[in-house]
Chains A and B, each alone.
Chain A
Amino acid sequence: MKKLINSPESVVKDALAGMALAHADLITVHYDPDFIVRAGAPTKGKVGIISGGGSGHEPMHGGFVGKGMLDAACPGAVFTSPVPDQMLAATKAVDGGAGVLHIVKNYTGDIMNFEMAAELAAAEGIEVAAIVTNDDVAVKDSLYTAGRRGVGVTVLLEKIVGAAAESGANLAEVKRIAEKVNAQGRSMGMALTSCTVPHAGKPTFDLPEDEMEIGIGIHGEPGRVRMKVASAAEITEMLATPILEDLPFASGDSVLAFVNGMGGTPLIELYVVYNELAKILKDKNITIARNLIGSYITSLEMAGCSITLLKLDDELTKLWDAPVDTPALRWGA
């Protein structure tokens, strides 16, 4: 294992300390329990927006704390859900009297820890609502699985819901918008290489030099199928088709197209994928009204990408365009 770390034990805290120094104007980092909170929190009268999850997906979620997006983020150990103490402390820190929304990705551990935190916060008189994202079409949503994983839509949802809260929407309204984003978005990812969890010291899975995995999760969970590496055009088709068929997206739809890097893939390749995606969507008479290209929900150093499509309407487009000022996403600010 080759990594720019001091030790596997200190990697999360060392990175938090770096973030705190780099973005002191936007965020404050609390330790024990660990959480990142927007500078000046709580915002009185505003619904607080919190997310959290295992570390190793940077910039998600800590990089999205700031005006117009998250009020706080709770980082767990690498690829491990944070614990209820963190969510409870963060919930209290951002509660401006209008309630708090927890944004939770659909993983068994995240769900249970956020549930325990919500029970504890409710016991302290804070109104908490939760949205669980589950947009990964690689997983069958059935009685026989824990349900679809929450992936790329989480990033878009945090931005859009953050804008809604900033505009003064109440908790019920914020939750309605969150549900709409989750319902209208779908994702799928692929890997060219594995990732290595610092504690584990070796790659999570073995992927031969000439093979790729389609339908991979953001923790290196195996996907739908393993096959020989194909061209960007073929890979994009393999990701886009299940996404388009699932919602389903239809001719005349307007979408936000999000091409995300898994952490080890350069931007030049993401633009190649975006170009292929644009061709596919054009053929289907689907308009890309907005786009986001870059590494925003990553899996350590894994090479690969994910595609997320979110069906837009006027309400979601307006909220997407609203100003945002965070370490990782910034416009109009």
Chain B
Amino acid sequence: MRITAEHVIRFVEGVAARIKEHRDELVQLDSAIGDADHGINMDRGFTMVLEKLPTVADKDIGTILKSVGMTLVSTVGGASGPLYGTAFLRAGMALADRYELTPAEVVAALEAALEGILARGKAQRGEKTMVDALGPGVDVLKEAQASGEDFVPALRRSVAAVEAGMKATIPMLATKGRASYLGERSIGHQDPGATSVFYMAQVMLEIVEGIQE
């Protein structure tokens, strides 16, 4: 499978569109346990990302992703800005000078993104954060890689794990971030950060499935 810089750009554009589409839903989720701005902030950030994208479109994949990360850090604010910004920056650093990717490189970049989020946010799994969605998704990809499974079915299972992880945040007690102030009242609500992770994973799967066809 050839995953090119053009696919990466389509992924970023797709994420921007998906976030815009679900902006109000993300705001709703955040108003239940946070401060009602996750959809607004992510939409603002990815709108700026789209504006900057043409300036790096002919560059290597690492440069494209680093530019996305820097733009998110500079425009999103809140906790999502540093967390998603760091994730894209780390993924970009893992893919420096690459114009084409193997599935193994995609997995390595996602692993680097997860490590960046863990380092910046200091959350563990089970604390009702984006880590609860991204973590299981990365686990599935790493296991599939070890067992030699094809990338597309592995990514399908991975996105299903992300979705399950997102839904698993509903009964969780938040112990990190603004939702933790609610204590037990955070139980029963889906984490907005885990939800935006799921939408990104969905877009990634759609792009990769498109390559196969």
Contact = CB atoms under 8 A, between A and B. Distances in A.
A145 interface: yes
A204 B75 CA distance: 23
Q: Is the interface of B mostly helix, strand, loop or mixed?
A: helix
Interface string B111-126: 0000000001100000
Interface residues of A, number: 36
A333 interface: no
Nearest to B185: A222
A62 interface: no
Nearest to B30: A200
Contacts of A116: 73, 82
A76 B41 CA distance: 11
A230 to B, nearest CB: 22
B78 A81 contact: yes
A139 interface: yes
B149 interface: no
B82 A113 contact: yes
A83 interface: yes
B120 A112 contact: yes
Nearest to B82: A112
A199 interface: yes
B20 to A, nearest CB: 14
A108 B73 contact: no
A262 to B, nearest CB: 15
Given A140-B183, A200-B40, A108 B177 contact: yes
B73 A84 contact: yes
Contacts of B44: 77
B76 to A, nearest CB: 7
Interface string B41-55: 100100000000000
A144 B182 CA distance: 11
A217 B185 CA distance: 15
Given A112-B121, A113-B81, A221 B36 contact: no
Contacts of A80: 35, 37, 41, 77-78
Contact of B181 (A85, A149, A204): A149
A83 B76 contact: yes
B122 to A, nearest CB: 9
A205 B30 CA distance: 11
Contacts of B106: none
Contact of A139 (B120, B176, B181): B181
Given A83-B77, A84-B73, A144-B180, A109 B82 contact: yes
B175 A144 contact: yes
B191 to A, nearest CB: 13
Interface in B64-108: 73-83
Contacts of B78: 76, 80-81, 109
Nearest to A113: B82
Given A107-B178, A221-B178, A204 B31 contact: yes
Contacts of A78: 37
Contacts of B121: 108, 112
Contacts of B180: 144-146
A83 B175 CA distance: 24
A1 interface: no
Contacts of B35: 79-80, 197, 204, 219-221
Contacts of B76: 83
A150 interface: no
Nearest to A138: B181
B154 interface: no
B168 interface: no
A82 interface: yes
A112 B77 CA distance: 9
A318 to B, nearest CB: 35
Contacts of B80: 109
B31 A113 contact: no
A82 B58 CA distance: 31
B173 interface: yes
A268 interface: no
Contacts of B183: 140, 144-145
Contacts of A109: 77-82, 178
A140 B175 CA distance: 11
A79 B50 CA distance: 24
Interface string B158-177: 00000000000000010111
B81 A217 contact: no
Interface in A192-243: 197, 199-200, 204-205, 217, 219-222
B27 interface: yes
A144 B172 CA distance: 12
A113 B178 CA distance: 15
A76 B82 CA distance: 14
B175 A143 contact: yes
The CB with the most chain A CB atoms within 10 A, among B34, B35, B181, is that of B181
6 contacts: A79-B37, A81-B79, A112-B82, A116-B82, A144-B183, A217-B181
Closest 8 CB pairs of A and B: A112-B82, A109-B78, A109-B79, A145-B180, A80-B77, A108-B79, A219-B35, A108-B177
